Structure 1
Amino acid sequence: MTRHDFPVFPVRSESFAEGQTLPPAQRSGKMRAGGQDESPQLSWSGAPAGTKGYAVTMFDPDAPGRGGFWHWAVVDVPAGVTSLPAGAGAEGGRLLPPGAIQLRNDGGFHGYLGAAPPPGHGPHRYVITVHALDIAPSGLDEHTAPGSLEVKLSRHTLGRGTLTGILERH
């Protein structure tokens, strides 16, 4: 397998379905998109053998500017965990499993920042990815930038699952 040819496993959410418009709870209030900045409920199964931990990210590849926008990044989710409750991405991470760490998002804080595409910019994809990793802990900390996480993930991902929500503001 090449670095980009990972086994895929399913990721589901009680908050929204694949390809659906993100509901208000998953939209941003901080960025005036009429939302609540609540991370969605997530569950997954079927990670590859040898998984030692997970990272969970949400990225908007359609954001203007420097190549996308990181809305959420969590590392060091233990291998035995296969779901996160809605709101796990709140600042402080009190609903995250013990040991999990939230990195700073591109909005400048440690937590989930809801979807907020610029009005009139067209539809944006919000890609949530659960990365099954061959390392635990990751060696990253809360000061790690999401871009640096990408480098780490490219070397240690065994498999991944994605769930994509859409949002467009007129």
Structure 2
Amino acid sequence: MKRLLAMFAFLPALAWADFTLTSPDAPAESTLSDKQVYIGYGCNGGNTSPALKWQGAPAGTQSYAVVVHDPDAPVEGGWYHWIVYDIPASVTTLATGAGVSTGAKVPKGAVQGLTSFGGKGYGGACPPIGHGRHRYNFVLYALKVKQLKLDEYATPAEQEKAIQAASLDQAKFTAYYQR
């Protein structure tokens, strides 16, 4: 047995725990609640970002980014509902409602980027009536940089491209909504 363990001694940097992202407010494969639905475009939800919690980040993680995206939206490239980056590596949660547009509830140093709604902060689900069930992909990226240094008016696609370029790993889950 000792010999077998010695054979794998060169692997100490590998994380045996999975990098995971969960939400008590929007569990994976669940339907988003009215609390996470947008206010506007005929939707009357609470427009509140769900709590997010993660663990098992890879070695070398300097910061995190969260992207919430609806690939089923009837626009090219889908619809970006929330982008927040430069989340310090010491942070492992975002509280319910952290996505307020003022940025007052994200961790110190974190930046909320522009979404497809044209503003900053969380914009809830609001697919077109009768368009079927939409997927809302919640993706957490572990980044190899402390700051992305993006232009504050970078498009959602530009932000995601920069986030992916700096990514060490990602954890994700999907929730659904239709009207």
Q: CA RMSD in A?
A: 1.3
Cα offset for 1:36? 1.0
CA contact (8 A) 1:30 1:37 kept: no
Q: Which has the higher contact order (CA 8 A, sep 6+)?
A: 1
Q: Which structure 2 residues correspond to residues 51-66 of structure 1 after superposition, within 5 A?
A: 51-66=61-76
Q: Which has the larger Rg?
A: 2
1:33 CA drift (Å): 2.1
Amino acid at match of 2:51: Q
Q: What's the CA shift string for 1:82-118, capped at 9, x where partnerless?
A: 0000111001111111111111111111110000010
- The 3-state SS of whatever aligns with 1:153 is helix
Q: Quote the residue 2:131 is aligned against.
A: 121
Name the residue aligned to 1:161.
Answer: 171
Could you tell me which residue of structure 2 aligns to residue 109 of structure 1? 119
State the match for 2:40 in structure 1. Answer: 30
Greater Cα offset, 83-92 or 155-164: 155-164
Aligned to 2:31: 21
- Runs of 4+ that moved beyond 3 A: none
TM-superposed deviation, 1:141:
4.0
Task: State the partner residue of 2:159.
Answer: 149
Q: Normalised by the size of structure 2, how large is the TM-score? A: 0.87
CA–CA distance in 2 between the matches of 1:140 and 1:71?
18
Quote the residue 1:48 is aligned against. Answer: 58
TM-score (norm 1): 0.92
**1:45 Cα deviation (Å)?**
0.3
Unaligned runs of 5+ in 2: 1-16
